[in-house]
Amino acid sequence: MSNNTHKSSINMLEREGLTRKLIMFVIPILACGIVQQSFNAVDIAVVGKFVGHGALAAVGSNGPVISLIVNLFMGLSLGANVIIANFIGQRNGDGIRKAVSTSICLAIVCGIGMTAIGLSVARHILTLLETPSEVIDKATEYLMIFSTGFPGMMIFNFGSAILRSIGDTKRPFYCLVGGGLVNVTLNLVFVIGMGMQVEGVAIATSISNYVSAAGIIYLLLKETGDIKLHLKNIRFYSTELKKIIQIGLPAGVQGMVFALSNVFIQSGINSFGPETVSGSAVALTYEFYCYFVIVAFTQACIAFVGQNFGAGQYDMCRSIFKRCMILSLVSCGILNILIYGISPYAISVFTDDPAVAGHAAMRICGVLLFQFMACSYEIPGGALRAVGYSVLPMIVTILGTCILRIVWCSSHLWDTFSQLLMIYPITWALTGTIMLAAYFIIMKKVLRKNLLQKE
């Protein structure tokens, strides 16, 4: 097996400096998430400040819809991360090379499929969501143009997953920064300079996705180890594809159903009118920023546990989970409190409308302040996927979070915006309790079984 190391990679198999390594791994992912979310944040800020709250509502109402389309396919990139990390731990060079080629091929196919879905069902989905009639035309236009950037988005995320499997989270961040700078520049040119509205920010975001994807492909082509991408070998390898789907598809289904539950909530939010939709979109932007802390530590848990499980270092698996859980809870909790404390200023970045700001503040107080609770199911779910158990986290999350949210929204037991939002902390607490119990039971069983086989 050839060398898979790079100066940006991290040795995940040594206990020395483990916490420092986890933080080094997480920081670029967190920064990557912030930049990626800033694509949408800049869209929202530009249209909110320079076009009006109608355009702001049009862009903001697309958030759950885009998540619904993206999450099914994005889960597959998680499968690629786990499989390649396991192969690295096992020192299986042939498996790594085939998994890399399969992953990029899958990214291209999924991206094209997502574009087709976005172009064909955009207005239908927005209509089902009861998007306000005064913004549905602009919202549809935004979603259709945004959809053309899905192939670039998928290539970037699958490519990033490949690099994360060797502990390299810095270079994907650099690629995303390049795309982010293009996004900001084009937003200003199209909207302020050329007078375009939602179509301008959608085009800018789509182009920026391809800029980031081009950077990732360039890095993989220049690699020297087993994760090097060979264009002539890009195709599906059946064994590796099956493994990626076994891990990634349940994660994708979970993400899709999770997004669907948020679509139901978005439908309820839409019923309160454009000001509420706009205010919710502003607060949701900050929720995404906080959520990236959880995602970053979950990705760290998956990569580190994946390699160590492949190498048979089971005590390290336990230690990694414990540290990721503590670090994510503390980090996300501090960020939640910080944003709550400066919420008037944070909201003013996006809007000067008092009604919109009031609804944004309501969501920050009722949802974002408690978001750290989501660590309790994301981190153990990631650890379980890293050892090959992907269906169980899917079932727990769907039942504990998604179904309950859908039932709550459909029951109409709520009369106000704040009552509608109560379901978030309730489902986080319930799902977290169940997932933690499942983690300790399953991991005890899995590690004992592998230790016996090892002996």
- Are 431 and 377 in contact, with CB atoms under 8 Å apart? yes
Burial class for 415, CB neighbours closer than 10 Å (0-12, 13-18, 19+): exposed
85 Cβ contact list (under 8 Å, min separation 6) = 165, 302, 303, 306, 307, 310, 386
DSSP reduced 3-state for 149:
coil
DSSP reduced 3-state for 2:
coil
- Are 300 and 326 in contact, with CB atoms under 8 Å apart? no
Type of residue numbered 85: A
DSSP reduced 3-state for 96:
helix
Q: What is the pLDDT of residue 361?
A: 93
- Are 85 and 310 in contact, with CB atoms under 8 Å apart? yes
Compute CA 150 distance to the chain's CA centroid, rounded to the nearest angstrom: 14
Tens of each residue's pLDDT in the chain, 455 residues? 445 555 667 888 888 889 999 999 999 888 877 776 666 666 666 666 655 656 666 666 666 667 666 666 677 788 888 888 888 888 888 989 999 999 999 999 989 988 998 888 878 877 776 677 777 788 888 888 988 999 999 999 899 989 988 888 889 889 988 988 898 888 888 877 787 877 888 898 899 999 999 999 999 999 888 889 998 889 999 999 998 888 888 888 887 777 778 778 878 888 888 888 888 888 988 898 888 899 889 989 998 998 898 888 888 999 999 999 999 999 999 999 999 999 999 998 888 888 999 999 999 999 999 999 999 999 999 999 988 888 999 899 888 888 888 888 888 778 888 888 999 999 999 999 999 999 999 988 887 776 666 55
**152's tokens:** 């670039």
d(CA 124, CA 396): 30
- Are 302 and 77 in contact, with CB atoms under 8 Å apart? no
Q: What is the pLDDT of residue 5?
A: 53
Q: What is the pLDDT of residue 452?
A: 61
**372's tokens:** 């750290």
State the DSSP string of 37-73: HHHHHHHHHHHHHHT-HHHHHHHHTTHHHHHHHHHHH
> Across 233-286, where does the E strand assignment appear?
none
Q: What is the pLDDT of residue 2?
A: 46
CA dihedral 393, 397, 403, 409 (to 10 degrees): -160
DSSP reduced 3-state for 194:
coil
206 Cβ contact list (under 8 Å, min separation 6) = 145, 146, 148, 149, 152
389 Cβ contact list (under 8 Å, min separation 6) = 442, 446
Q: What is the pLDDT of residue 54?
A: 61
H or E segment to which residue 312 belongs? none
Burial class for 153, CB neighbours closer than 10 Å (0-12, 13-18, 19+): buried
Helices (H) and strands (E) in the chain, counts: 18, 0
d(CA 127, CA 402): 21
**32's tokens:** 């990557």
- Are 154 and 107 in contact, with CB atoms under 8 Å apart? yes
**405's tokens:** 């949210």
Q: Which residue has the tokens 């704040």?
A: 418
Type of residue numbered 157: N
H or E segment to which residue 237 belongs? none
d(CA 164, CA 15): 18
H or E segment to which residue 86 belongs? helix 63-90
